[in-house]
Amino acid sequence: MKFDHKQLSTTKGIKVNGPILIKPKIFRDGRGFFFESWNQKDWEEILKQYNQVPQNFCQDNHSKSYKGVLRGLHFQKRPYPQAKLVRCIFGEIFDVAVDIRKNSISYGEWVGTYLNSINNHQLWIPEGFAHGFLTISQYAEVNYKTTNYWNKDYEESLLWNDSDISINWPLESLKNETLKISDKDKNAKTFKSFKRT
């Protein structure tokens, strides 16, 4: 197989069943590097190892964000939930997934990992998770595949700094850079409010 992979744990040591960190095998030499960033057969084998059903991707998204930009925590409600396969193709981000599956033993827990253009890791975020990231480098370009089309009428956000979720964003890495958050994300739902829906 051309990819190593593992489930992520929270800072409390709780393994969250769902997100998978995928590490490609990179071949480097004096000319540069080569790796397979996507392989359908390997992808299906990885998901089966975690008792997840392979899904088809229907859309690729590409964003550019400057240092200090925090996007999220975004998700789409049923009947249009999205799963995502996220990679940072330039720069570095701290990528986060929050479990919002109400019947999950890790409901309300989060996992985070650094994705960058050196490690070329990817994060699989299944349906039932809110997603966000913080840009660490001067700028970063993020590319991600989704299993459903974007639908503005079903898109929602959780508050990035909600104390009930308590994400440990690496804000110290920004140094003197200002945190940049959209008005929509500043006014996102609290986790308590989400739990009541």
For 24-54, the pLDDT digits (tens) are: 999 999 999 999 999 999 999 999 999 999 8
Catalytic residue among 5, 66, 74, 80: 74
Q: What are the tens digits of pLDDT across the range 101-117?
A: 999 999 999 999 999 99
Per-residue confidence at 63, pLDDT binned at 50, 70, 90?
very high
Instruction: Work out the mean pLDDT of the chain and round it to a whole number.
Output: 94
**Global pTM?**
0.94
SS3 39: coil
Preceding peptide of 79 cis, ω within 30°: yes
Q: Is 5 a catalytic residue?
A: no
Instruction: Return the H-helix or E-strand segment holding 192.
Output: helix 191-195
Catalytic residue among 5, 121, 131, 144: 144
d(C-alpha 122, C-alpha 126), whole Å:
13
